[in-house]
Structure 1
């Protein structure tokens, strides 16, 4: 298996763009092989000149191999995919014209290959390029037909060549016009896909982020807690803190809800700036916030909250007339295998006790307080 992978890497490279171009090349190579087999059958049944047919086979095979080398060395030549596609299409058209000239009574069948070449390019070229390639095919095949009927009118009757050229020109023009319509559909599909992707991203943000504070919302925080429960290693400390802005209702009543919203926004930005790299702060509801402190002992978590409290006291909120904002917090250490819902419940009880003790303080859940520590701390 490793040997096959190394062989594939040797033949096709490792660059995704190059591999995609080689896939198109492989499709054209299959078409060349089919045409070579059919030409061999024509020669075997006396329908084509053997020397001319063998010359075309050698020309087609060498050209196909040359394009493989060109694609593999594209890191040096830096040709755009559409440039390579135009070059391969032009080469294929030369082969189709040559095949038309030597196929005798089967020459009309070669016209289908001309149309196939243009159709194949519809997926790689812009409409203008496809139109120019169709015009080149019409001019090239028309010149070949004119020359053949002029030099060998018995095998190539003028009226037959004229009518054949008309059918071919109509088919190629129609194909070029359809290419333009297909390009429009493809562009529309890409635009709709991009719009859908943007809409899904917006929905994702709306579903996970609180619009006012730009913090994650309660729903997404519950998902974070579920992941943390699965990730939590035995013996690792994790703490939960529940925060509540002090006297927030008074702020709304006295200064208005617009100022209250400003308090929430400034508080959220200030609080988030005081966190450690792995800490997660979420708006839990109203003026209440939930803080997850992974890999943190209670003393470490308290230090984070105290730093946050100092920065919140120093923050300035427009329209608040210099009034100081503070918060109360309840802190709980998660016990071994304890659901986070229970930890949050204990942190909520500690928050209630912090408020009862006068607010603007951090209270540790009673079961987590060391015997020598007193309850409540600023």
Structure 2
């Protein structure tokens, strides 16, 4: 029940959960300020009626913003719109608290600066600048009204000097928000570049650049995973494939034509495979094919289908010459390491070459 209640209140959506965390931090700040205001009332420094009104106003606002955050997707409210709304609400509370805090009113100015600092991390610089201007105007209007109606408790000179300090602090904070925004943008850009570089490194570490097939390093990891997955079950086949007379192609037509053969072969071979089959470039013109969860006869049928596609493909630069491959196919015995299966497939491949190439030999 507690877990369901937590999900109901805080949601499982990471973005919404983060927004509610910020809201909860704001509520903690409200509670701290309310506790301090109650102490002011207790010691006769603030009016009880005005303090109760501010407390009720703050509680209603907190509940209202919780509902708005929870329903922001349905209401089509952007996170920055909610942040601006909460900041304006907080600034109104800060002005109200300043007006009722008597001799401790200067301490409330720090809360105004704290609100703007919070906005630096959630809003764009222009929005922060507008909020700073709103805070300066709002607090300035409150100070003017207080010194005009109660000059004994709010001396005009004191209020004017206090306003000057506040305006300077808020303008400085607003300027710093622009620099913070530039820094965040640079960090995001660098993070994006780093992520792209890591993706490229990950691809280079697992994929053969020429054929776009799995490379030998990654294929070894796949074979280890297959051994762990089927530790004692013999339902996996492994085949070693070798393109026939590949050296002759390189010598006669050049290495560019040889690269074209490898690319065309990989494309034709992949088109004949099942979704869970894995074809890797094992080295040079040699390829290793992992066929999991398959009977030997079905594995041989996959290789024969692949051979037909390879014979039918047209390779640019070969003047119409056709390409074929030889293959050795081995079925994994129960508990047999994949290295031994590959060794038996390699021997079968050797027999296929000795028998004239362009054929599949089952170990």
User: Aligned partners of 1:50 and 1:235: how far apart in 2?
Assistant: 79
Instruction: State whether residues 243 and 326 of structure 2, in contact with CA within 8 Å, keep that contact through their aligned partners in structure 1.
Output: yes
Cα–Cα, structure 1 residues 188 and 264, in superposed 2: closer, same or farther, change >3 Å?
same
**Rounded Cα–Cα distance in structure 2 between residues aligned with 1:320 and 1:221:** 30
Per-residue CA shift, 1:97-119, capped at 9, x if unaligned?
A: 11111111111111001001111
1:161 match: 159
User: Which of 255, 272, 280 is 1:257 aligned to?
Assistant: 255
- Report the counterpart of residue 279 of structure 1 in structure 2: 277
Aligned residue runs from structure 1 range 58-73, under 5 A: 58-73=56-71
1:38 aligns with 2:36: yes
SS at match of 1:338: coil
Query: Which residues of 2 match residues 197-212 of structure 1 at below 5 A?
Result: 197-212=195-210
Alpha-carbon separation, structure 1, partners of 2:66 and 2:343: 68
Cα 1:14/1:349, change in 2 over 3 Å? closer
The answer to whether the 8 Å contact 2:236/2:293 transfers is yes
Matched with 1:376 is: none
Return the alpha-carbon distance in structure 1 between the equivalents of residues 332 and 312 of structure 2.
31
Note closer, same or farther for the CA distance 1:294–1:10 as it changes in structure 2 (3 Å cut): closer
**How many equivalent pairs are there?**
363
2: CA distance between counterparts of 1:306 and 1:73? Answer: 58
Establish whether residue 193 from structure 1 lines up as the match of residue 191 from structure 2: yes
| CA–CA separation in structure 1 for the residues paired with 2:62 and 2:331 | 70
Is residue 111 of structure 1 aligned with residue 109 of structure 2? Answer: yes
C-alpha separation in 2, matches of 1:122 and 1:243 = 61
1:17 shift after superposition? 2.8
Q: Give distance in 2, aligned partners of 1:235 and 1:36.
A: 68
CA–CA separation in structure 2 for the residues paired with 1:75 and 1:255:
62
- Residues 53 and 237 (structure 1 numbering): CA distance in 2 closer, same or farther, change over 3 Å? closer
1:359 is paired with a residue whose SS is coil
Provide the residue aligned with 1:136 in structure 2: 134
- CA distance in 2 between counterparts of 1:277 and 1:54 reads 68
Residues 76-103 of structure 1 show CA distances to partners (whole Å, capped at 9, x for unaligned) of 3221111111111111111111111111
CA 15–240 in structure 1, closer or farther in 2 if over 3 Å, else same: closer
Q: TM-score, normalised by structure 1?
A: 0.93
| Structure 1 SS opposite 2:209 | coil
Say if 2:343 is the partner of 1:345: yes
**Residue 226 of structure 1: how far off its partner (Å):** 0.5
1:85 pairs with 2:83: yes
Structure-to-structure mapping, 1:170-319, within 5 angstroms: 170-232=168-230, 234-319=232-317
Separation in structure 2 between the aligned mates of residue 315 and residue 192 of structure 1, nearest angstrom: 44
Q: State the secondary structure of the residue aligned to 2:288.
A: strand
Change (3 A) 1:198 1:205: same
Aligned-residue CA RMSD in angstroms?
A: 1.4
Which ranges in structure 2 are unaligned for 5 or more consecutive residues? none
Report if aligned partners of 2:233, 2:335 keep a CA contact under 8 Å in 1.
no
Q: What residue is the counterpart of 1:332 in the other structure?
A: 330
Cα distance in 2 for residues equivalent to 1:358 and 1:15: 62
